[in-house]
Each structure stands twice: as C-alpha cells, then as structure tokens.
Amino acid sequence: MPAIVRRVLGVVVVVLGAALAIFGAWNAFGLGPSGEARFSVTAKDPGALVVEPDVLNSVEVPVRITATRSDGGSVQVVVAPSVDARAVLDRSAVSTVSGVHYPAGTLDLRTAGVGSSPGVRTADVWRLSAKGVGSAQLVVNQGFGPETAVVASGDAGPLRGVTMTLTWADRAWFFDALAVALIGLIGAAFALGDLWHARAQTGSIHSGSRNRGVIT
Amino acid sequence: MTRKDRVFALSIAISVSLTGCGAANSVLGIHAPPKVNPSAVPLTPDQARAILTRDFTAAQQGDTTADKTLRDVLRTAYTDEGLRAANARVKLAKVQPTGAVSPLLAPNEPRLLAVPRGFGYPRVLLAQTVASEGPLPILYLLTSPDAATPYRIGASATMLLSTSLKPFDSLAKGSPLVTDGTELTVAPDALLGAYAAGMAFPAKASANPPFAADVFSGQVRAKAASVAKAVAAQATFSQTHKVVPQSVYAVRQAGGDALVFGVIERTDSFAVKTGQAVNTAENKEFVLLTGKKRVTKSASITRLEFVVFAVPRSSGQATLVAASEQVVAGSGS
C-alpha cells in the first residue's frame, strides 16, 4: 500500500474512531446504567395524542406511556391495532407524534382533524387500557404490532394541556454504547499508533539515506 | 497484502460501518414497524372474555330489574333484533315466565367459542352457555358493526336436543366470517330464505330444501294449523316468515363448515270475518302489547325467530342446531 494512501486512511480512522468514542461515551452518559431513554411533549391543541407504530413499535422493548393533565381531569391511555385505532379516531382532532429527538428528549407533534372522538371510550378494540384522574400510565409490550397508542380524555370534556412521556429502557443499550465507545477508542488508538510508527519509520529511512550519503 | 495491512483495512471497515449505517439506530436497535397481518386476530382472548362478562352482566341487570331507569342497560348489552326481543321480554315479563321462554337471560360462565379473524367489519364473537333454568345450552352471537361500536348480543338461541357443534379454530387463530357462501353447500342467505319460505302457512310446496327436517319448524307449522282450525269460525288465519335484513352471519368452523345465525320475523295475521268479534282477553301477551281485549276487523302478532344452522362445506343438508322465539309486537282493530 502506498505510504500516502496509508497515511490518509490512518487519519480517517483516527477521526472516525474518535467520533465513535465520543458518540458512545455520550450515549452511555445519556442513557445511564439503566439504559433509559425518555421523551416528552406537552400538547397545546385540544384533542387526543397519538403514537403511531413507527414510534411505538420501532424498538423491541416495552414502551411506558405516561399522560398527565394539567387541569387534573380524567385521562386514559389505550392501545389497539393501528387499523382499528385509526378507524376509531376517524377525522377527530388528534396530535400525532411526528418526530423523536434524542438526546434532547423531546417529541414533535403534527395536528390534524376537528372535533372529539367519543368512540375512544366506547370501542372494544383496545388491547390495553389505563385510566386515571390527573394522570394515567401504561406499559406497551411488543409483539402485537403494528399498534397505535392514544391518550384521550377519560370523561366527556375535551383533553387540553396534557403532557405525554414515552420511556424506553434497556440496560443492554448502556453496555452497547460503552462497547461502541471502546471500539472507537481502540480503532483511533490503533490508527494513531500506526501513523506514529510510519512517521518514525520514514524519519529513520531519511536518516539512513543521509548516513549512506556520508559513507559513500 | 501484509497482515498489518489487513488489520488496518478491517479497522476502517468497522469504523465506517458503525458510523455510516447510523450508529444510533444500531445501538438502540431501531427498526421499521411490523407490517399488518390481514389474518391476525384483532382481540385477545382476555379482551373477548371481558366483553362477554360486561354484556352478560348488563343483560342480567336489564332482564331482571323492574326499575325502568335501569332497563337502559339493555342497550349496553343487546343490539338489533336481540335488543328488540329483550325489550319485548321485559315488557311482557308479567305474563311471560322469563325463565321458560328467555334464551337471552344472562347465564353463568359463558364459554367463548370463536373470536374474529382479520380487521374487516362487522366482527362477531360466539359464546355458549347453559341456562340456570334448563339443561340445554344457549348460543350467543355478539356483533360489532364498526371500530367505534362495542360488541353487543345480537342474537341467541337455545340448542335443540341431540345437536352438537363442530369445533372452531383456536382463539389464537380466530374464525373468519363467511361472506359469500360459495364454499358451502348452500349460501347462508339462501338457506335462511328457503327456511323462512318453508314455514309459511298456508304451506307452500318446496322440493329438495337445503335443510333437514327439524323439530322447531315442525312445531311452528303444527301450531299454525291448530290455530287456523280453532279460529276458523270467526277469522281467517295466515302466517308469514321473513328473514330480517342484515341478520344473517356465518362463521367458519375449523373443518370448513360454518355456523349460520339468522333472525326470521314471523307474523300471525287474523282477518276477522264480517259480523264477528273475537275476544282476545285470554291472550295476555296480545292484550299487554295492544291494549285490546276484543277485535272486530283484524289482528296480528309479530314474533322473532332466532335460528342457528350447521352448514356443511362439501355435501349434505344444513341442520338446525338451535332455535328460540320471542313475541315482540301486536296490533288489532
């Protein structure tokens, strides 16, 4: 391998390795030893909050959904096959999670529809359901997807000022992040060593040439 | 390539793959959501059992209470013709011994027979119970017309003596509705239509019916002949049977056969002969429904007949496995 190519690749590996090490360490710090990732949003518009399967079923670990009403009213969290949840909500006012920001821990909402959906309280489609005064919490296990979670008012009144938090937790994530950091660190160290070694070798050759010149 | 070169290349590959493929996704295991399985079961067995418990509890409250305000709970238990029959039964409770004629009386420990398969509507649940008043099991059909409407009892009928049910697919697999009937010896709608026509009085001739002779239709026809004879001097009696639209549901069984539920509306009509007056005081159901103890022109009594057939897939006639009837309306002048 030509020396110049090797030197360029070495620099690339050092940069990538360092990036991985920083990324892994940063994730390990963010997730903590429990491997918990938490995302929250407070809805400004009235209507149900919806978590579709591209978020709810995107990871093979349970999702804990917590909903808290600022007015202390009744709130319910329900989960159903996506086809059924969409049919129940129909064209009612909903705020759907459209973006998840890590590590900021925030969620984006996309608002659509008008009016309430009384079917949320009457329908038999919900596989899981939790209801409470002020707040409600539900843990959605995986393996039944695609499913959709809905946070709705637990009474006839409209749902306003509700804060929803989605929490995923997997201890393996913390160790995975550590492993990534370690791989990056090793890669960067190895490439740095190789660059150092090559530079030293070049210096030695140059020095040898000069010596040979002196002898001849 | 020297050994050193190979190790060097490998470290580059690892670094590039981890970074280029989205390190965050790799670390967190993020993937695309699963696809919809069109033949999945939309209800877990626990959900279905909770629905049965809820509906039967409401049915029991509505059926047994004398408090009119509590009778609204009937609407949470029954729907369609099931509700029509339940309302009439409560109205006639004074003159109609509930235990003797009520196939819809809420039973103990319902057994879940079948849950829906797929995400289409309507969806049905089938359940079976043994009434506390009698030894014969009762079959229940619970329907949900759309996602926002809960399951409610749409029909029920007492099983006939010496009949049995073939098994359904497991609750984990679900049982699909038969929508066109082309894979059965007779289409469900055609079967119910032929059965209704076969019970008319005066009788109409029908050759090669798709159903086997049964006790229920035999009793209906015999009673019609008896009534016609009894009132012959004062009135002309006729009886019609009409399948209630949208009341026929066929659920596929494990072997390919189907269990078909249907509701037939039976109307007994009396045309009083000129100059005659018929005293109806003895018919307490009629008096309670119409308020009339005497008719001089005409009278009619409407009943709902809930029937359940076992329909084979390949050959043979359909067999009536359950049937019940309930007076629901009357009129007279």
pLDDT single digits (tens) A36-70: 889 999 998 889 999 999 999 998 899 999 999 99
For B206-251, how does the pLDDT look when each residue is reduced to its tens digit (9 = 90+)? 788 999 999 999 999 999 999 999 889 999 999 999 999 999 999 9
Query: Taking 60 as the threshold, does the pLDDT of residue A18 lie above it?
Result: yes
| Out of A6, A81, A183, closest to residue B18 by CB | A183
pLDDT at site A38: 92
Inter-axis angle of helices A171-215 and B3-20, to 10 degrees? 140
Virtual torsion, Cα A78, A83, A87, A91, nearest 10 deg = 90
Ranked by mean pLDDT, the top range of A150-164, B80-94, B140-154 is B140-154
Q: Is B8 on the interface with A (CB under 8 A)?
A: yes
| Out of A17, A87, A126, closest to residue B15 by CB | A17
Contacts of A90 in chain B (CB under 8 A): 148
pLDDT at site A207: 55
pLDDT at site A216: 37
Query: Taking 50 as the threshold, does the pLDDT of residue B283 lie above it?
Result: yes
Kindly report the average pLDDT of chain A as a whole number.
87
Residues across chain B: 333
Average pLDDT over residues A154-159: 84
Contacts of B12 in chain A (CB under 8 A): 9, 12-13, 16
Query: Taking 70 as the threshold, does the pLDDT of residue B134 lie above it?
Result: no
pLDDT at site B23: 58
If one compares B10 and B24, the residue with the highest pLDDT of the two is B24
A1: number of Cβ within 10 Å = 13
Rounded to the nearest angstrom, the gap between the alpha carbon of residue A9 and the centroid of all alpha carbons in its chain is 31
Residue among B314, B317, B248, B254 at smallest CA distance from B113: B254
Does B119 contact A84 at a Cβ distance shorter than 8 Å? Answer: yes
If one compares B238 and B61, the residue with the highest pLDDT of the two is B238
pLDDT at site A30: 83
Does A9 contact B12 at a Cβ distance shorter than 8 Å? Answer: yes
Confidence of residue B131 (pLDDT cuts 50, 70, 90): low
Q: Rounded to a whole number, what is the distance in Å from the CA of B267 to chain A's nearest CA? A: 35
Q: Which of A79, A84, A124 to mutate to test the interface with B (most CBs of B within 10 A)?
A: A124
pLDDT at site A82: 95
DSSP B160: P
Within 8 A by CB and 6+ apart from B196, the residues are B241, B242, B243, B264
Query: Taking 60 as the threshold, does the pLDDT of residue B320 lie above it?
Result: yes
| Out of B5, B33, B148, closest to residue A145 by CB | B33
Query: Taking 80 as the threshold, does the pLDDT of residue B22 lie above it?
Result: no
Sole residue written with tokens 């096959």: A81
Q: Which amino acid is at B163?
A: T
Query: Taking 80 as the threshold, does the pLDDT of residue B1 lie above it?
Result: no
Residue among A107, A98, A57, A113 at smallest CA distance from A80: A57
Confidence of residue A12 (pLDDT cuts 50, 70, 90): confident
Q: Is B19 on the interface with A (CB under 8 A)?
A: yes
A203: number of Cβ within 10 Å = 10
Confidence of residue B70 (pLDDT cuts 50, 70, 90): low
Does B30 contact A59 at a Cβ distance shorter than 8 Å? Answer: yes
Contacts of B7 in chain A (CB under 8 A): 190
Confidence of residue A190 (pLDDT cuts 50, 70, 90): confident
- In chain A, what percentage of residues exceed pLDDT 70? 93
Q: Rounded to a whole number, what is the distance in Å from the CA of A3 to chain B's nearest CA? A: 11
Q: Kindly report the CA angle at B205 between B199 and B209, in degrees rounded to 5?
A: 70
For B153-182, how does the pLDDT look when each residue is reduced to its tens digit (9 = 90+)? 999 999 999 899 999 999 999 999 998 878
Q: Range with the lowest mean pLDDT among A13-27, B125-139, B197-211?
A: B125-139
Average pLDDT over residues B277-298: 88
Sole residue written with tokens 């002898």: A215
Query: Taking 80 as the threshold, does the pLDDT of residue B184 lie above it?
Result: yes
Does A20 contact B44 at a Cβ distance shorter than 8 Å? Answer: no
Within 8 A by CB and 6+ apart from B262, the residues are B155, B188, B191, B192, B195, B243, B244, B247, B248, B249, B306, B307, B308, B309
Strand partners, B319: B310
Q: Range with the lowest mean pLDDT among A18-27, A87-96, B93-102?
A: B93-102
Average pLDDT over residues B122-141: 85
Q: Find the residue in A nearest to B12 (Cα).
A: A13
| Out of A24, A145, A187, closest to residue B11 by CB | A187
Rounded to the nearest angstrom, the gap between the alpha carbon of residue A185 and the centroid of all alpha carbons in its chain is 23
For B91-124, how does the pLDDT look when each residue is reduced to its tens digit (9 = 90+)? 888 777 655 444 444 455 689 999 999 999 999 9
pLDDT at site B66: 66
Query: Taking 50 as the threshold, does the pLDDT of residue B20 lie above it?
Result: no
Q: Find the residue in B nearest to A26 (Cα).
A: B24
pLDDT at site A213: 45
Does B148 contact A58 at a Cβ distance shorter than 8 Å? Answer: no
Does A184 contact B15 at a Cβ distance shorter than 8 Å? Answer: yes
pLDDT at site B21: 44
User: Do residues B192 and B212 make contact, with C-beta atoms less than 8 angstroms apart?
Assistant: no
Q: Which of residues 195-214 of A touch B (CB under 8 A)?
A: none
Chain A and chain B share a number of CB contacts under 8 A equal to 119
Mark out the alpha helices in chain A (DSSP H runs). Answer: 3-31, 53-56, 82-89, 119-122, 171-215
Strand partners, A99: A108
| Out of A81, A145, A194, closest to residue B119 by CB | A81
pLDDT at site A215: 42
Residue among A159, A138, A157 at smallest CA distance from A149: A138
